[in-house]
Chain A
Amino acid sequence: NIVLTQSPASLAVILGQKATISCTASESVNKFGINLMHWYQQKPGQLPKILIYNEFSRAPGIPARFSGDEAELNFTLTIEPVEADDVATYYCQQGLTFPLTFGSGTKLEIK
């Protein structure tokens, strides 16, 4: 199984600053040159919402403040500038192979 290790477990960011969330995969999630890594946002008491799919493609309606990147097996979700509405838990998920797996989540708070 592909294990996704997310860090940090939680972070507090000042409004208007940058938040960086990392997700390290235990093995490649690349298929024909595309990394099949996806990111979700789950606000308190709400259902998850897709933010980024296939490493860096923003889902419809997602603002450009959210971006995805990759270096080797390390994937990054960046939110800049952070807004109050971004308070949520963020999850990565690999879409290469079954079982589909999620990271453990990163809780974003406003400092």
Chain B
Amino acid sequence: EVQLVESGGGLVQPGRSMKLSCAASGFTFNNYDMAWVCQAPKKGLEWVATISYDGSSTYYRDSVKGRFTISRDNAKSTLYLQMDSLRSEDTATYYCARQETTWGWYFDFWGPGTMVTVSS
């Protein structure tokens, strides 16, 4: 059974940093691209970043470029999101998602999410 479990969320002050983790199990982690998708309170879904199966390629939405870094440790089957220079508008639930890439990019499994609140 595919399982994705995020951790590392919480309350953080504007301008500070936070690192999210996502522990994966139930599938061959290093065969899949992975992604972070966020959802602000009462709002819709927004793709944040994607990393290729081997970590060689990364992609980001414009609003987080230069501030967020997606990475992975295939030996530990773990995905990360380093979030620097956090802003109030980064407040959201962050979902770790497995990204299917066989034909078209979509998210076939999601974690339960971890809430990040950026506030002073």
Contacts and interface: CB of A to CB of B under 8 A. Distances in A.
Interface of A: 31, 34, 36, 38, 40, 42, 47-50, 53-54, 59, 89, 91, 93, 95-96, 98-105
Contact of A47 (B44, B59, B103, B111): B111
Leading 4 A-B pairs by shortest Cβ distance: A36-B104, A95-B104, A95-B105, A100-B47
Given A91-B44, A95-B106, A96-B104, A47 B95 contact: yes
Contact of B47 (A31, A42, A102, A103): A102
B50 interface: yes
Contacts, number: 66
Interface string B8-26: 0000000000000000000
Interface in B76-120: 95, 100, 103-108, 110-113
A43 to B, nearest CB: 12
Given A36-B104, A42-B45, A100-B50, 7 more contacts: A34-B104, A48-B95, A53-B104, A54-B103, A59-B108, A95-B105, A99-B47
Interface of B: 35, 37, 44-47, 50, 59, 61-62, 95, 100, 103-108, 110-113
A98 B46 contact: no
B51 to A, nearest CB: 12
Contacts of B110: 47-49
